[in-house]
Structure 1
């Protein structure tokens, strides 16, 4: 998943900066390690396993991230995949997902608190409203599973261009996680356009209490 993450963002940020940020926040990977991995030919068995892992993640999310091995095995069979129960367990371990047990804690990135101060929703889901960049920016964060556990990734996206202007990876949900992503987004626009100003720009995030 680390390699896939670098693949998704290398054109915009470059391999070295991404590896540096990931290493800084507890997910060590060197640029040469990434490039060496990309040069290794993928076997048919590895490719098939990658497709199955992707199917497991899709079904796990579709079922509210609740399914354990047994229910996931049934779901895979219903979806037409000829897999064994032990194989499903191994695929789930590779994907870094597991079912929820009674009394077990689940990782949640967004928690609404009704008593917390909340700014009005200025967007009202009108995603097609902007007619130019830098009208609306939306911010969110999620978590990404890695070989050393999971890390939180925050990002700021321009609604009109769909471009990620700023992002940040950290091992915990702190103010700096989202604040630094916004700072990077502002720096990105200033670097591209010295006349850029945030006047009139709407920055939107969800109603989480983080």
Structure 2
């Protein structure tokens, strides 16, 4: 049997039958066909609150209505809090960006609430939904994909200037500020800089050479000025030392060596690789700091045998070899600082990949017109 329901008017008249017309509660119960306890409860409800008794059919007592109102406000405030926490970066964006965000998240939050929080109209949002995209928006979508691809291809290390060169090379016409905006909208950022210089604890066996380079970090041709240094990378097996030689003409890493010890053999092997790859240079200047590895008899004899002029930075002055510091800074920021190496062999493989497969062949270098060292040499007819 279906449950019987009674209107507020019926209940009030039933109570009046008992209270105002002198009919007994038992008799009224039998006449109306309702249970005695139900009728007794109706009478108590009217005695407790004659005005707001029986708030059914969409009606509610004042205290209940207030509680329901407060619950709705709490739910709304929680939604606004969660929404604003997720979309707090939108307030300085344009209307199209805000509407796009509302469209993307309208399954999670009410449209009206999101529009009010972002300061845009709901009618404007629905008009935007059916409005055809502008040509600039379409271009931003296409260009945004190219921006993201460039950033990903650089192992998420490129900033706006290098990404801009990649996008221009693909045929897009845009300015640097547009690339910066597109990168911000996709939360793409270059790696932050961190610098660290290894401490040389060795003993110098030969007097240091004068600073012939004198911070002139450019060269008119290849194999005229080489700069060198070494750094260290931590692995689970201990330190891995990495030495490199850079040709200042194209900024190419022409020689490198990786060993477990910080000895003269480390820098000697890097120099031997540079000579092997470039051929015996005619009149090249080799510049380094005054580390014991470079002032060692072994390394100095090698320079003398191949006819290389030795130049060294002044004592305690890292700026005299800042171009080399920049190379190792890029290596660490763009690759090794965010890796955990289980072994030295794993670190060696990753450093090799960075130097030979990215830095020399693909990475855009600001000092040579934002092209890679390999491309720069190719354009100069050296490749």
Q: Give the TM interval when normalised to the shorter protein.
A: 0.3 to 0.5
TM-score normalised according to structure 2 size: 0.25
Higher relative contact order (Cα pairs below 8 Å, separated by 6+ residues): 1
By percentage of residues, which structure has more helix?
Answer: 2
Q: Which has the larger radius of gyration?
A: 2
By percentage of residues, which structure has more strand?
Answer: 1
TM-score normalised according to structure 1 size: 0.44
